[in-house]
Amino acid sequence: MIILWLKALHIIFMVAWFAGIFYFPRLLVYHAQNQSDQVHQQFCIMERRLLYFVTPFAILTAVFGICLMVLYGSEWLKTSGWLHAKLTLVTLLYVYHGYCFVLLKRFKAGRNKRSARFYRYFNEAPVILLFAIIILAVVKPF
């Protein structure tokens, strides 16, 4: 029964995290298109609040995921190739999340050098990772 609760919490916090990680780059698209200093300041506030709001969800996703791996045991972990692939993709997602903080800092300092088009593509990365992660977790192809 505890495993089901941990799975539920893991999924809940993952969904909340992804909601923010999908929206943050969209804000960067609009921010990159902006020329007004007043609007720039407003975007900086929105981006900072959003990223700091979803970061605890990212942490809790990891905490409950680690708890699940501990409860399932090391033998299960060794033999679950799909999980190794999933963890690799999840690691990329945490790197992506960390890079969002770099972008936040650049925008705040007025040092953004990227176009709105770059951020549109940047916005697609977590979608692709989400699809792959869910397929690995549900289908368990290897």
Residue 18 confidence (pLDDT): 98
* Mean pLDDT score of the chain: 97
Question: How many angstroms separate the CA atoms of 60 and 83, rounded?
Answer: 18
pLDDT digits (tens, 9 = 90+) for 35-58: 999 999 999 999 999 999 999 999
Q: Residue 52 belongs to what H/E stretch?
A: helix 37-72
**Percent of the chain with pLDDT strictly greater than 90:** 99
Residue 107 falls in which region: left (phi positive, over 0), alpha (psi -120 to 50) or beta: alpha
Report pTM. 0.95
Residue 109 confidence (pLDDT): 96
Domain count, the chain: 1
Residue 71 confidence (pLDDT): 96
pLDDT digits (tens, 9 = 90+) for 105-137: 999 999 999 999 999 999 999 999 999 999 999
Q: For residue 50, which of 15, 25, 14, 13 has the smallest C-alpha distance? A: 25
Residue 61 confidence (pLDDT): 98
Question: How many angstroms separate the CA atoms of 76 and 134, rounded?
Answer: 19
Residue 81 confidence (pLDDT): 96
Q: How sure is the predictor about 14, in pLDDT bands with cuts at 50, 70 and 90? A: very high
Residue 25 confidence (pLDDT): 97
Collapsed DSSP state (helix, strand, coil) of residue 138: helix
Residue 94 confidence (pLDDT): 98
Collapsed DSSP state (helix, strand, coil) of residue 11: helix
Q: Is residue 108 classed exposed, middle or buried when 0-12, 13-18 and 19+ CB atoms within 10 A define those classes?
A: middle
> Domain limits at 37?
2-139
